[in-house]
Structure 1
Amino acid sequence: MSVFFQLAVTTALALAVVAGAVAYFRAVRTPRPPVGVFNGADIVLMMGFVLALPYVYLALPGAVLPVVLALVFAGGLSVGYQPLIANGRLRWALILALIASVLVSHLAFGETAPPYWVANSVVVCLVVISATNLNVQGGIRLRNVARFLLALAAYDAFFAWVVPLTQELADAVQGYPYAPAAGLRIGEDLGGVVGMGDLLAYALFTTTAFKAYGKPGLRTGTVLVVLFGALAPVAAQHLVAAVTGDEPALIPAQVFFGPAAYVGYRLLRRRGPERRMAEVVFRRDADGAARQPAVRGTAAGARTAP
């Protein structure tokens, strides 16, 4: 029963952030940051940030860590949803209500109770959707995402199985609110949790693939997320437990998804050059509401509107 619950929760969360990120991309145009376009140097910088962030978290006193995470969540929500809620007071009131709901549910029900995990998961998923679109609409290319995820797979494998940094970080946030993860726990036996970084990887790859190649990119990304992001890690964990008799403490999802995403990118690349953000226009109804992105122009390499 536990394996099916874990599979259901993992798959539902992965698909939720993918659907949310793509829906945001199709409906909302974020202001383009004045930083140019992403290139190899940006990916190196992102990887350096990923490498350094766990050490920063572990260096913080235990009681300070949830405060920092709450501020990170609030900042991500503020920037990402400004185009949707222009009124600053209203936007911050809603953000503070979301942040407070996580703390209140943690204090009232505890860190293993469903109300806390539902509240925390909503905030985490909204932050992931926001961060995804800031990157995708900021100009990141599918090539850059695929290479980043491949490097992330090696990083996660090393710090899970060679240097147990990932487990140390998971232990550090135990007992505190604002876990950097989404999931659901019911009692001691049923539980499924997905790291915030994994959810960001799924949403980032699929949304960028949709921007680059339209519906074929969306289908490819969604299939890879379900098979290699949700199903493969859970199946591998229980398979290892069945064969060895000992359940592994941690099997990084990116070990499966990172290489699969890179192969998916190589397959999509055969369709031609990636569609850039400059080639995406947002249709609007008479009331001004943004609608599905479409391809501008009929130049070589352009594809039909997704």
Structure 2
Amino acid sequence: MAAITLLGLGYFARVRMPRPPVGKYEPPDVLVVMAVVMLAPLLYLELPRTAVAVVFGLVLCAALQFTLAPLLGGLGAALLAVLAVAVTGGLALADRTLAVLVLTDVLLAVAVVGVATMWAQSGFKSVHTAWFAGLLAVYDLLATGLSSVMDRFAAQVMGLPFAPLLAVTRGDPPVALGLGDLLLIVLFPLVAAKAYGRAAALLAGALGVLASSAISVLFATGTLTGAFPLMVVLGPVIVAQHLYWVRRAGRERTTAEWRAGALATVPVTAASPVLLAALGTPGAPGDLDERARPGDWVALLDGEVVGTGPSAGSARKDAARRGTGAVPLVRQV
């Protein structure tokens, strides 16, 4: 886990992933993610094992491609992703269990690093991660601790190629981390680095690794013998860190501030008149910035006006000409 966490922090610091056109993350987006997390195991329990492996293989292939694309280019990443998935599938058909287990772990780790980086760099905040972790802790308690849903799901996917379980040991019982657990262990250090800086990232990474390692030790010593809801431990740890850092810093850094290396500070100047008008803020001054007039369109990124134009497309093009690499929101003034 320590290696995967460090890989995530290194990738996050050095690679800029294209921002998906998702706009700004809001609390309802967290609820949508939670709904997917809750419903997916129930769906997979109704599918044949072969169908489950095929679905996971396709999802993993797509995640590998966009993770590797910034490093290898789109075509090179696609070829390598397809090759890796094909080799893993071939080894599964040849009944090479250990090789499949190792390759699945490697591919899953790379894919999770890419997904976590994309979320963090596209605006997923510490507060969103805290909500996600808290909700997932409740769900994990219900699905793993108080019912047999996750036990049955683990039995369904255990041993499959591309299974969404990171195998930690092959003992009896085998120890594995679920995909949600792994995603949050990798994700929170990244959003903490963006929101609060290096110290917050290192603390988040250390506590995540410590929590997962402690549970693994309990399994290794026989103290735990059945499924354990890791998020019941990890979720409150993430929420507590978020509350501590937001209380200490006052607010999170925006993605733009993180990229510029700026510290999060409480703004003391009034917002741009163009931004106020674009957002329809009550009391916005009547005289707009000279770059925009009533009826024009503005491109917004992380709370800043990055382009203007007479149409939505021209505002985006203006933002691109000014060096904006991410996809901004557009709104009419």
CA distance in 1, matches of 2:254, 2:195: 6
Alignment correspondent of 1:102: 88
Work out whether residues 17 and 128 of structure 1, in 8 Å CA contact, stay in contact via their aligned partners in 2. no
CA distance in 2, matches of 1:191, 1:175: 11
CA distance in 1, matches of 2:156, 2:102: 21
Larger radius of gyration: 2
- Structure 2 residue 235 is matched with structure 1 residue 258: yes
Task: List per-residue Cα deviations over 1:7-40 (Å, max 9, x = no partner).
Answer: xxxxxxx222221221111111111222221111
**TM superposition shift of 1:211:** 0.8
Alignment correspondent of 1:295: 261
CA distance in 1, matches of 2:208, 2:160: 29
CA distance in 2, matches of 1:126, 1:159: 27
Work out whether residues 141 and 232 of structure 2, in 8 Å CA contact, stay in contact via their aligned partners in 1. yes
Task: List per-residue Cα deviations over 1:72-106 (Å, max 9, x = no partner).
Answer: 00111122322222241x22221122112322333
Larger relative contact order (CA 8 Å, sep ≥ 6):
1
Alignment correspondent of 1:280: 258
Moved over 6 A (4+): none
Work out whether residues 251 and 264 of structure 2, in 8 Å CA contact, stay in contact via their aligned partners in 1. no
Work out whether residues 185 and 209 of structure 2, in 8 Å CA contact, stay in contact via their aligned partners in 1. no
Distance 1:299 1:238, change over 3 A: closer
Alignment correspondent of 2:36: 49
Work out whether residues 272 and 301 of structure 1, in 8 Å CA contact, stay in contact via their aligned partners in 2. yes
- Structure 2 residue 194 is matched with structure 1 residue 211: yes
**Which amino acid letter does the alignment assign opposite residue 300 of structure 1?**
T
**Which amino acid letter does the alignment assign opposite residue 183 of structure 2?**
L
Work out whether residues 137 and 232 of structure 2, in 8 Å CA contact, stay in contact via their aligned partners in 1. yes
CA distance in 2, matches of 1:235, 1:154: 23
Of residues 159, 180, 199, the one that matches 2:164 is 180
Task: List per-residue Cα deviations over 1:142-163 (Å, max 9, x = no partner).
Answer: 0110111011011011001222
TM-score (norm: length of structure 2): 0.74
Distance 1:97 1:215, change over 3 A: same
Listed as ranges, the matches of 1:94-133 within 5 Å are 94-111=80-97, 113=98, 115-133=99-117
**Which amino acid letter does the alignment assign opposite residue 39 of structure 2?**
A
Task: List per-residue Cα deviations over 1:29-62 (Å, max 9, x = no partner).
Answer: 1112222211111111111111111112112222
CA distance in 1, matches of 2:74, 2:123: 26
CA distance in 2, matches of 1:132, 1:81: 13
Alignment correspondent of 1:136: 120
Distance 1:108 1:191, change over 3 A: same
Alignment length (residue pairs): 266
Alignment gaps of 5+ in structure 2 = 268-333
Work out whether residues 73 and 123 of structure 1, in 8 Å CA contact, stay in contact via their aligned partners in 2. yes
Alignment correspondent of 1:286: none
Work out whether residues 249 and 264 of structure 2, in 8 Å CA contact, stay in contact via their aligned partners in 1. no
- Structure 2 residue 80 is matched with structure 1 residue 60: no
Alignment gaps of 5+ in structure 1 = 1-13, 282-293
The CA RMSD over aligned residues, in Å, is 2.2
CA distance in 2, matches of 1:209, 1:125: 20
Alignment correspondent of 2:226: 249
